[in-house]
Amino acid sequence: GQQVMQIPQYQHVQEGEDFTTYCNSSTTLSNIQWYKQRPGGHPVFLIQLVKSGEVKKQKRLTFQFGEAKKNSSLHITATQTTDVGTYFCAGADRGSTLGRLYFGRGTQLTVWP
């Protein structure tokens, strides 16, 4: 069945260092979405990628969708303490009639000042 694997599960960085989290799917995705959950908060939508090889940027965040539409990454340049939280990818299975979204297990980012 559909699975979205996300690594690493935890990442601790010094403020100013870069951070990357990766998602891989066992099947081809129609799109992939990224969410951020601050400690004690709820997941909040960041971005959606639809096209093969797509790259999108939001300030220090860069999102990529692989050519085969089976993997994605989120890269944060020069992390800040405000980046702390859990980042989730969520992929929609292209072949699913239900069109459901499958969430990765998340990467918990800690940023030391």
Partner 1 sequence: DTAVSQTPKYLVTQMGNDKSIKCEQNLGHDTMYWYKQDSKKFLKIMFSYNNKELIINETVPNRFSPKSPDKAHLNLHINSLELGDSAVYFCASSQRVTGQGNTIYFGEGSWLTVV
Residue in 26, 28, 30, 52 binding partner 1, rule: CB under 8 A: 30
Residue in 27, 62, 96, 110 binding partner 1, rule: CB under 8 A: 96
Rounded CA-CA distance 53/102 in Å is 20
x/- site string to partner 1, residues 61 to 90, per CB under 8 A?
-------------------------x-x-x
Binding flag, residue 105, partner 1 (CB under 8 A): yes
Rounded CA-CA distance 37/30 in Å is 23
Segment lying near partner 1 (by CB under 8 A), choices 11-19, 55-63, 70-78, 102-110: 102-110
First to last CA, the chain: 41
Rounded CA-CA distance 78/69 in Å is 27
- Cα 3 to chain center, whole Å? 14
Identify how many contiguous H helices and E strands the chain contains and give both numbers: 0, 11
Binding flag, residue 53, partner 1 (CB under 8 A): no
Rg from Cα positions in the chain: 14
Binding flag, residue 3, partner 1 (CB under 8 A): no
Site residues, partner 1 (CB under 8 A): 30-31, 33, 35, 37, 41-45, 48, 50, 86, 88, 90, 92-93, 96, 98-101, 103, 105-106, 108
